[in-house]
Amino acid sequence: MLLAIDAGNTNVVFAIFDGEEKRGHWRISTEGRRTSDEYAVWLNSLMEMKGLKPGDIDAAILSSVVPTQTHTLAKLCEDHFGCTPMRVGAPDVDLGLEIRIDNPREAGADRVANAVAAVASYAPPLVVIDIGTGTTFDVVDADGAFAGGVIAPGPALSLDALHRVAAQLPKVDIAKPASAIGKGTVGAMQSGMFWGYTGMIEGILRRIREELSPTGTPKVTVVGTGGLVRVFAEGTDLVDHIDGDLTLRGLLLIHQRNQARKGRTGQ
């Protein structure tokens, strides 16, 4: 079985695949001081609830945008599951995706995994919008190549910053408000966040579509993923598909591609 790990700035997501079947899926907050042993105790207990054992794992793949966690999670795989993880972004890992940006090494591992899964599931050109700690718009051109994108602060990060610098503004939940005009502080903040972010999403998507396909042909397909995408999809009709497993599926596809390549070359 394959252990797939996606380490982001807010959460580390773990999934176990038995072939194409996802047998388990868990997340834990990203914490720089957490050790590989601590991860192992937590993960093993959750695996046991699914009838899975450490010995069931014979391969791992790791995507990390948190340098302090990369080594820790690799050590988790090596010490507790007996395998060295394939690392997305390593020179010897074949993505099956052309990276058409000025410095291909700058492409985040999670963004690349999203693009790989999107190309496998939807017809390009594509935009993948991933709403998490940051909001990323990843662009796949008509040739199926990663062509760049946009990075903006995530909605939770923006709300937290507003709460920190404005003493009288409370922390509020991110949700679609009943009306655009807030009748109190909480309603006003929720409206500003929801409709302000929705406006940003729509504005950026329209500009990307104009650059990617000026005539509208071929159609640009927008795929949404990330923890908050369903919330903001309520406010716009520009998101064509919501695909919550996009990153993990991208990791599975990358691992399968490289295993198949090793089989062909006998490595």
Annotated binding site for substrate: 108-111, 185
Given the residues 58, 92, 94, 110, the one annotated as active site: 110
Structure tokens at 36: 């590989």
Question: Could you give the CA distance from residue 267 to residue 256 in angstroms, rounded to a whole number?
Answer: 15
- Give catalytic status of residue 79 as yes or no: no
Binding residues for K(+): 130
Query: If DSSP codes are grouped into helix, strand and coil, which group holds residue 26?
Result: strand
Which DSSP helix (H) or strand (E) runs through 49? helix 36-49
Task: Give dist(CA 240, CA 100) in Å, integer.
Answer: 24
For 52, phi and psi rounded to 5 degrees?
-110, 150
Extract the tokens encoding 147.
């062509």
Mode of pairing for the β-strands spanning 241-242 and 221-225: parallel
Dist CA 222 CA 220 (whole Å): 7
Phi, psi of 232 (to 5 degrees): -80, -20
Binding site members for ATP: 6-13, 133
- What residues contact 193, with CB distance under 8 A and at least 6 apart? 155, 158, 159, 172, 174
Which residues contribute to the annotated binding site? 6-13, 108-111, 130, 133, 185
Identity at 75, one-letter amino acid code: K
CA angle 195, 197, 201 (to 5 degrees): 115
| Residues 256, 88 contacting (CB under 8 angstroms) | no
- What is the DSSP code (8-state) at residue 181? S
Whether the CB-CB separation of 227 and 117 falls below 8 Å is answered with: no
Residues recognised as catalytic: 110
